[in-house]
Chain A
Amino acid sequence: MIRTLPLALLFLSAAGVAAAQTQDTSQQRVLLAGNAPSVCKMDAPTSGGGGTVQFSVSSSNAAELNFQALANPTTAVAQAAQVTVSFPVICTGAHSLTVSSTNGGLTNPALPATGFATRVDYALTAQWAADQRRFQTVGSPTSLNLTESDGVAGNLTVAIAIANGVLPLVSGAYTDQVVVQFSATP
């Protein structure tokens, strides 16, 4: 009996060590991560035209405004007209907008004739987010620029206004290209 006491103490001690090494709660953690890139997406104009300006969309990145009454039918002088075109745009981060006129006005490639005009200038106003920019064509390529420091979703509106002219216009086709470009910025 003298030897049983130290043996019993030994077993109890072993059980105590085992309990300290186990755990009744265990956990793991997993990080899920993704990235939404900074990009711009612009759809074809959804509205525009009206009055004597005919509007048509020819593809997802091209549309046409046709001023059907560019000149007064009795004087051949340019007559005032205005049209607004809306572009649905989403830029998910900082970005810039550039609107440019390739010809710097509606131009007729015909040779100029004394007392006649071959170009019809216009004012273009772009409204995007809370900002507005404007340019007036004067016969050479021109553009406006606008930057935003964060994402914006909405409609860019581009208003083109032609004022009454002075000289009669040489007959023929008058064209210009307005290029609207959004770019995500780093």
Chain B
Amino acid sequence: MSFTPAMSLFFATATLATLGAGLPAQAAPVTLTVTSAVANLCIVGPAQVNSGGATNLGVVSGNTVNIAQLTNDQLTTRATAFDITFDATCNAAHRVTVTSERGGLRRDQTGGNHPGFADGVPYTTRFDWDSSEATLLAPAQSLSEVSQNLDIGAPAAGSLVLHVTIDAGATNLVTNSPLIAGGYSDTLRVVMQVQ
């Protein structure tokens, strides 16, 4: 076994320390300062649709919630209600924003003139978070998004619950108007952001 240059240096230094006269018995202390930081963080988990207690809830597939029967025997809107839960965490003061991207449940096929018919279904989404709540009204009057904010002044973790409610007969025309046939849809967007 041969000595490496580094090992040779160590032995030389040890010999000097042992044999040296007048040096302090202890070496001077070395202070290590350890620092770090926790960044702002908001995390919203995937949607979980609660079928228990729901009204007129159809098939739920991934992030798609189908309404079982959009219309009733009078051809107007059937009452619907269900909850969507998200596990969420924000480690600082934050804002929760719930947005209806189409401003309500709107007919997918646009255009056409249908006197006496509605082509949109308004609904409300009340959302509960950290013992506070706010309500988004999506009136289905225009194809533009509507949003509602809820500001929370401290970190919070738990379940964000959206209560989606469609009233019987609710339409973007006169109440109880018939709905023109077709597919209707909207996208609910939930955003949590550190403030």
Taking beta carbons and an 8 Å cutoff, which residues of A are in contact with B? 1, 3-4, 7-8, 11-12, 14-15, 18-19, 22-39, 41, 90, 92-93, 150-154, 184
Contact across chains for B181 and A30 when beta carbons are under 8 A apart: no
Report which of A23, A34, A153 forms a contact with B117, defined as CB distance below 8 A.
A153
Contact across chains for A26 and B188 when beta carbons are under 8 A apart: no
In the assembled complex, the Cα of A115 lies from the Cα of B171 at a distance in Å of 62
Contact across chains for B164 and A28 when beta carbons are under 8 A apart: no
* Residue B12 at the chain A interface, CB threshold 8 Å: no
Contact across chains for A4 and B191 when beta carbons are under 8 A apart: no
B172-186 toward A: CB 8 Å interface, digit per residue (1/0)? 000000111111111
Residues of A within 8 A of B39 (CB): 18-19, 22, 24
Report which of A7, A26, A37 forms a contact with B192, defined as CB distance below 8 A.
A26
* Size range of the chain B interface in the assembly: 35 or more
Total A-B contacts with CB atoms under 8 angstroms apart = 155
Contact across chains for B192 and A25 when beta carbons are under 8 A apart: yes
Nearest A residue (CB) for B82? A32
Contact across chains for A36 and B47 when beta carbons are under 8 A apart: no
Nearest A residue (CB) for B41? A22
Query: What are some 26 contacts across the A-B interface (CB < 8 A)?
Result: A11-B36, A15-B36, A18-B36, A22-B41, A23-B41, A24-B194, A26-B193, A27-B44, A27-B189, A29-B190, A30-B190, A31-B65, A31-B187, A32-B188, A33-B64, A33-B185, A34-B58, A34-B184, A37-B181, A90-B178, A92-B71, A92-B75, A150-B112, A151-B117, A153-B115, A153-B178
If A90-B178, A151-B114 touch, does A33 touch B184 (CB 8 Å cutoff)?
A: yes
Report which of A4, A14, A18, A90 forms a contact with B30, defined as CB distance below 8 A.
A4
Contact across chains for B194 and A25 when beta carbons are under 8 A apart: yes
Taking beta carbons and an 8 Å cutoff, which residues of B are in contact with A? 30-47, 58, 63-67, 70-71, 73-75, 80, 84, 86, 88, 92, 101, 105, 107, 112, 114-117, 121, 164, 178-194
Residues of A within 8 A of B33 (CB): 8
A15-B36, A24-B40, A32-B65 given; 18 more Cβ-contact pairs under 8 Å: A12-B35, A18-B36, A25-B192, A25-B193, A25-B194, A26-B191, A27-B192, A31-B64, A33-B183, A33-B184, A36-B71, A36-B179, A36-B180, A92-B71, A92-B75, A93-B182, A150-B180, A151-B114
